[in-house]
Amino acid sequence: MSRLVARVRRGANAGVPLYPHIHKDGMYVASHTKFEVDYIRVESVGDLEALVRAGYKARMSNQELGRAPSLISSDNIQFVGGNTVLLSTRLEKLEEEFDLDRDSISKHRREQALLRAYLMNGNATEECSICRRTLPENMLVASHIKMRSHCTNDEKLDFDNVAMIMCKLGCDDLFEKGYIVVQSGKVVANPHRTSTPALQCNPPIFRSSYS
């Protein structure tokens, strides 16, 4: 793990170092935008480093300046010393922790944030795998294709294939509730599932099969 350092760029304090800001809830924040609703809160500098290396900005501050934290772009953050920490390494470590304590809500929340960021390659927007609409990160989720308990150890660590990016505009729920299923790598409507006309009319979902 590295130390993250940025510098104040202008004004009287130019050159003063900034460090990851610890918020009141004890968390660090990575984000693509300045809007609090988009903040990804992480407990450790390791997770923050992985997100910043993937392209996220980080909220950083210096206590001595007594100023509100700034949202610093990844290009302006230096990684000092230590081993490089990537989203994949954090996800691998998280998998080990899941084996010890699977039901922790905070671990699931953490997995969701890191896995979604990993599958989105750190981008702020991405296409939903089902309806193909491009949406901002907070309207998307990393949806597990196969139940974790049914996965082999190798499958659990195959982060590219363990989950898909789906939207919160319906696709994730339709998948979760079994109205659409993955068959031979394609997403198709589930013929065995009782539906309603309104659901079947949902154009992005049932228009055709998606590969």
Helices 105-119 and 45-53, packing angle to 10 deg: 20
Member of 131, 162, 163, 174 binding Zn ion (CB under 5 A): 131
Distance, in Å, from the CA atom of 86 to the CA atom of 1, rounded to the nearest integer, reads 9
**Which residues make Cβ contacts (< 8 Å) with residue 195, sequence separation at least 6?**
179, 189
Considering the complex, what minimum distance in angstroms separates the CB of residue 69 from Zn ion? Answer: 34
Token couple for 203: 């154009």
Query: Closest approach of Cβ 199 to Zn ion, in Å?
Result: 14
Given a contact cutoff of 8 angstroms between Cβ atoms, the answer to whether 143 and 167 are in contact is no
Nearest distance from residue 142's CB to Zn ion, in Å? 13
119 near Zn ion, judged by CB under 5 A: no
Q: Amino acid identity of 125? A: T
Contact flag: residue 72 with Zn ion (CB under 5 A) = no
Q: How far is CA 132 from CA 97, 128, 155, 187, in A?
A: 33, 5, 25, 12
Q: How far is the CB of 174 from Zn ion (least distance, A)?
A: 9
Judged by beta carbon, residue 81 or residue 203, the one nearer Zn ion is 203
User: Which residues from 159-188 bind Zn ion, rule CB under 5 A?
Assistant: 167, 171
Amino acid occupying residue 98: F
CB of 125 vs Zn ion, minimal distance in Å:
13
- Are the CB atoms for 18 and 6 separated by under 8 Å? yes
The window from 35-43, 75-83, 96-104, 126-134 that contacts Zn ion (CB under 5 A) reads 126-134
Nearer to Zn ion, 16 or 124 (CB): 124
Among 128, 141, 187, 189, binds Zn ion (CB under 5 A): 128
Q: For binding to Zn ion (CB under 5 A), which residues are involved?
A: 128, 130-131, 167, 171
